[in-house]
Amino acid sequence: MICYFMVIIGTFVDFTTTHIALRNPLVYETNPFTRLLIATGQHAQFDILIVFLSIFVPMVMLRISHYPPLRAILLYPLILGLGRLAAGLWNFSLI
């Protein structure tokens, strides 16, 4: 459960701080894929899709398989959430 919560919070913090930081004319996005998503207005939709898949895929895999080592798949949303949270905190330092 904490893994799913972490991916939601991390993505929200990164998304929010990115858009707040980009209001400053001296700050720019260095990731070309994120720049493309923001320019085409698809950044929010892409982040929602990432959160949905990061929760849905591990949950389904754990429900259809009762193989105990498969629980390690919960590390994926946890690591993704921590990475996005770290990026959001970095963005916050630019604000």
pLDDT (mean) for 14-27? 91
pTM for this prediction: 0.86
What's the pLDDT score for residue 80? Answer: 94
Structure tokens at 58: 């591990």
pLDDT digits (tens, 9 = 90+) for 68-88: 887 888 899 999 999 999 999
Contact 74, 3 (CB under 8 A): yes
The ranges assigned to domains in the chain are 2-94
SS (H, E, C) the chain: CHHHHHHHHHHHHHHHHHHHHCCCCCCCCCCHHHHHHHHCCCHHHHHHHHHHHHHHHHHHHHHHCCCHHHHHHHHHHHHHHHHHHHHHHHHHHHC
Q: What is the mean pLDDT of residues 23-45?
A: 92
Structural contact between residues 4 and 77, judged by C-beta atoms closer than 8 angstroms: yes
